[in-house]
């Protein structure tokens, strides 16, 4: 999955990333579903160990254009985990209380504790994406945030949190299809927000903002992965494998007990 990882300092050009790519999976959609089930079993085991060990926190950040598949990815990749050990945080437009603080205030409170997996559906990156595209704060304020975010993430990793970030990459044509589906399919209408059409007009501005995010904030300690996301099944399998690799690298172990079990009798 290394091929999707953005190297620190890279000058990212999103046009060079094929949202239709499926080259890292040798099979079709049905086979990918089976493979995903296998990974899910392993994730369940890894998560239990992570929780039992209580040593590491793990944070997965998910960003995408509207309809990019954030919700679907979370359901497919993390949906089978024990809910006690995995917490999903969705960040909406800030409340007045949140706006009265610095932009990382609400984020820091939502970071996972040791033993937990945290999944961010949107994140502090909105503060250099929607905020930048809509001029919600002046450029001299948001332009300093890339360095601030790197410093924040560095601190988190140095204090025991592993961070991996996913940008789900869809094409503009795919977004059109998905927005149309939201109109046509009654079970998807609830997701349709007329504002998404205004956002779509700003596609280029958002892509520029993402380009800067990926170029400036993919670090050795908190890397970004650009996930080809036009095909849901491929997106899911790639994200699941990276999650699996991340947890395996931590190699969490059930802790040894210092109790003498030979003396314990249950009456």
Which residue's Cβ has the minimum distance to ligand AMP? Answer: 126
Footprint of ligand AMP on 73-92 (CB under 6 A): 91-92
By CB under 6 A, is residue 133 in contact with ligand AMP? no
Nearer to ligand AMP, 203 or 254 (CB): 203
Contact 18, 234 (CB under 8 A): no
Which one of residues 21, 127, 153, 174 is an interface residue with ligand AMP (CB under 6 A)? 127
Contact 91, 125 (CB under 8 A): no
Contact 203, 2 (CB under 8 A): no
- Compute how many residues bind ligand AMP; rule: CB under 6 A: 10
Cα 150 from Cα 211, distance rounded (Å) = 16
Taking the complex as a whole, the smallest distance from the CB of residue 130 to ligand AMP amounts, in Å, to 4
The β-bridge relationship of strands 86-90 and 117-121 is parallel
Q: Each residue of 214-233: b (16+ CB within 10 Å) or e? A: bbbbbbeebbbbbbbbbbeb
Nearer to ligand AMP, 22 or 70 (CB): 70
Q: Which stretch binds ligand AMP (CB under 6 A): 3-11, 14-22, 33-41, 122-130?
A: 122-130
Taking the complex as a whole, the smallest distance from the CB of residue 60 to ligand AMP amounts, in Å, to 16
Nearer to ligand AMP, 193 or 251 (CB): 193
What is the DSSP secondary-structure string of 80-94? TS-GGGEEEEE--SP
Nearer to ligand AMP, 136 or 202 (CB): 136
CB atoms within 10 A of CB 2: 10
By CB under 6 A, is residue 93 in contact with ligand AMP? yes
By CB under 6 A, is residue 72 in contact with ligand AMP? no
Give me the numbers of helices (H) and strands (E) for the chain, helices first please: 11, 5
Nearer to ligand AMP, 4 or 60 (CB): 60
By CB under 6 A, is residue 131 in contact with ligand AMP? yes
By CB under 6 A, is residue 139 in contact with ligand AMP? no
Q: Closest by alpha carbon to 21, among 237, 208, 209?
A: 237
Which one of residues 122, 169, 231, 241 is an interface residue with ligand AMP (CB under 6 A)? 122
By CB under 6 A, is residue 174 in contact with ligand AMP? no
The β-bridge relationship of strands 224-228 and 117-121 is unpaired
What are the angstrom distances between the C-alpha of 226 and each of 2, 38, 46, 103, 144? 10, 23, 24, 24, 23
Taking the complex as a whole, the smallest distance from the CB of residue 183 to ligand AMP amounts, in Å, to 16
Site residues (CB under 6 A) for ligand AMP?
Answer: 91-94, 122, 126-127, 130-131, 136
């Amino acid at each position: 999955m290394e091929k999707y990882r953005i190297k620190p300092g890279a000058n990212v050009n999103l046009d060079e990333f094929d949202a239709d790519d499926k080259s890292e999976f040798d099979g079709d959609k049905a086979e990918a579903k089976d493979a995903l089930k296998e990974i899910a079993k392993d994730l369940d085991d890894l998560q239990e160990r992570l929780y039992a060990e209580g040593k590491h926190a793990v944070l997965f950040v998910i960003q995408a254009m509207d309809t990019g598949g954030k919700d679907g990815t979370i359901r497919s990749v993390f949906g089978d985990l024990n809910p006690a050990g995995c917490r999903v945080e969705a960040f909406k437009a800030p409340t007045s209380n949140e706006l009265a603080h610095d932009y990382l205030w609400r984020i820091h409170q939502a970071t996972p504790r040791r033993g937990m997996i945290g999944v961010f559906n949107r994140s502090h990156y909105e503060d250099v994406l929607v905020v930048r595209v809509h001029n919600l704060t002046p450029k001299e304020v948001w332009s300093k945030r890339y360095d601030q975010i790197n410093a924040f993430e560095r601190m988190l990793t140095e204090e025991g949190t592993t961070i991996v970030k996913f940008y789900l990459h869809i094409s503009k044509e795919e977004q059109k299809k998905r927005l149309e589906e939201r109109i046509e399919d009654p079970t998807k209408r609830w997701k349709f927000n007329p504002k998404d059409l205004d956002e779509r007009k700003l596609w280029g501005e958002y892509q520029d903002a993402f380009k800067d995010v990926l170029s400036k904030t993919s670090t050795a300690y908190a890397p970004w992965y650009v996930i080809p996301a036009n095909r849901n099944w491929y997106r899911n399998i790639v994200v699941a494998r990276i999650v699996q690799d991340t947890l395996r690298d931590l190699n969490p172990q059930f802790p040894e007990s210092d109790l003498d079990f030979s003396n314990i009798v249950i009456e």
